[in-house]
Structure 1
């Protein structure tokens, strides 16, 4: 189950500013995508009340939540939004408890209890407690915090690898440890500082976590967190989860990328423009026979198209396929000459040939 936090964690990206209309477009896309929960923002964020009112009209069964620090006054302000879920963040590593909050473990436990109690008293039906910096915390103390949250009435604990320190194996071990002791939901929040956020998140779900945080194109603090489109695609296309829709992923990523001023690489997993582009001779020939030989899923399933081109890496079979596609007749004797001409022109241009360039080159070779 996925908690999309593009509008909270993603909005914390350096230089990213989402106006109200953009936030509405993102929320609509996420609901169409089928994410299980949208973390809509943080207490005190501009226009959050207006946005929350709009989001409640969108329908569907996607839960809506808001993030709050572990402060009773902020939780009371959050209750005015009329949402049923709240995510309360609290540091669990001694480094943060002592240096950031100038506090100690016992005081944090008391603070957590007061925050959960306040949230329940304010009418929140589902209270989630985020244990921040868990990968650098004392494991036994972190577990005691989670158990304390459960006793106090929390519905979920969120294990936050705040600096992306964990590997999939370490994440699996962490989740299983908490799953053995807790009877409430478990979520993970994985940062991508070492490029493992999506892998860690999916591993957590396999290991027994109920939720994983994600954001569109993975944006967030520093290098961001797990990518929504990657988790949705994996769950829908490989795991057979019919809740999620992959056809809206590309448009959602384009909207978020433009708003956050983040360019989407052409090779970006799931939504890159060239992930189904091929000019390699062996692969092109194989794709013309049976696409599943070199494609993990149908391009249509993620709203993109297959692109086959000839160039400096193409062989005779790829050139022959291009000729057949364009309805051009070329004799066997001319094929080798044309293939070499294609390679040379492509190498000179430093790119594959366009359709018009290929047809013109064939005319020149055949009729010159």
Structure 2
């Protein structure tokens, strides 16, 4: 099924809630370990940023993981604090001891995951999850029921599981693309299908193995999902999850949905998570790459400074600064602007003299020039 001119309604957009799973799913990135101190700081920054709910970890793992979740739950943050649990009563008991106000109860629903992860038939898993939800609700917890590997589950499994979750009192239903097999068309079809037949608040939790996590998340929201699950930097197993920074930026700059996030804080948080996780941020990564707003064109830079946006958003929108670099594509305007940054006013004759020398040096080094290299060329040209 193809969707045509999909455009989210105001009613949907005004109710979007961001759920961050950096401390749980994000930590499943190969080689990433956050200690207790790291987790507490990240949780504080996520709450300060304005995230609706933080998936803080898995208390049932015990040890420092339990201590970290418990410490976060005691902070009194604005964000709700959720733990991840199997459909096992002892997991929920441990989450209660940790002091969280919400639990995610996660169960595989695709035949292949049911067989290899649980060794159960669908009906058995359904009863197990039903019991866990009822138990959590009796203890006053907010419950998010997670359908693992929903993208490979038969439709009747999706509906039966969703109806069970609703009837058992689950507060919402998470559609997990655990194996990263869903594309925007599949997400649209699944979200609309469940919305029409079940009537329970939905959440999309998308993985990024095919580079579609952000697109899938946005389509999920536009199709009726109230909750969007993300991680900082898109951390997660294999190619990761939908990234916090991409989703909230797309909502704001493409759809005009301002969730109140401070992008300066978001960039600070991204840098901290990068440092603690050891996952480097590529220079030209969308939204937060440090060279994203570098340009070799003086005309483009002037236009941006005048408020005429070359792209959908500017460095100023994110609390950053435009950077002019001098490289292969730089012309007279760029050179003039760059030397003005040094407090040097070049006239047209000087620009015509120095520009070929700059181009020659760029070609020799096969890269843009550093400021000190530009100044050296200037001194050799005009002060010799």
8 Å Cα contact 2:53-2:82 kept in structure 1: yes
- In structure 2, stretches of 5+ residues that fail to align are 1-16
Name the residue aligned to 1:93: 110
Q: Contact 1:216–1:227 (CA<8 Å) still a contact in 2? A: yes
Distance 2:156 2:149 in 1: 14
CA-based RMSD of the aligned residues comes to 2.0
TM-score with structure 2 setting the length: 0.89
What CA distance in whole angstroms lies between the structure 1 residues aligned with 2:112 and 2:130?
A: 21
The corresponding residue for 1:278 is: 295
The aligned residue for residue 85 of structure 2 is 68
Tell me how far 1:281 sits from its aligned partner: 5.8
- Structure 2 distance, partners of 1:77, 1:99, is 25
Tell me by how many angstroms 1:167 deviates.
1.4
8 Å CA contact retained: 2:173, 2:200: yes
- Which one of 316, 323, 332 corresponds to residue 332 of structure 2? 316
Corresponding residue number in structure 2 for 1:249: 266
In the alignment, does 2:354 pair up with 1:338? yes
- Number of the residue aligned with 1:2: 18
Paired residue secondary structure (1:44): helix
Cα deviation for residue 325 of structure 1 reads: 3.7
Matches within 5 A, 1:173-192: 173-192=189-208
Structure 1 match to 2:275? 258
In the alignment of these two chains, the number of paired residues is 366
- SS at the partner of 2:55? strand
For 2:140, which of 117, 123, 127 is the aligned residue?
A: 123
Partner residue of 1:25?
41
**Alignment deviations for residues 257-298 of structure 1 (CA, whole Å, 9 cap, x no partner):** 12211111111111111011111465345445x354324323
CA deviation after TM superposition for structure 1 residue 347, in Å:
1.8
Report the equivalent of 1:80.
97
Residue matched to 2:240: 224
How many angstroms apart in 1 are the aligned matches of 2:367 and 2:309? 24
**3-state SS in 1 of match to 2:60:** coil
In 2, Cα distance between equivalents of 1:109 and 1:355: 64
Shift of 1:337: 2.6
Q: Distance in 2 between matches of 1:111 and 1:331?
A: 78
Partner of 2:203: helix, strand, or coil?
A: strand
Question: What is the TM-score with the length of structure 1 in the denominator?
Answer: 0.93
The answer on 1:171 being equivalent to 2:207 is no
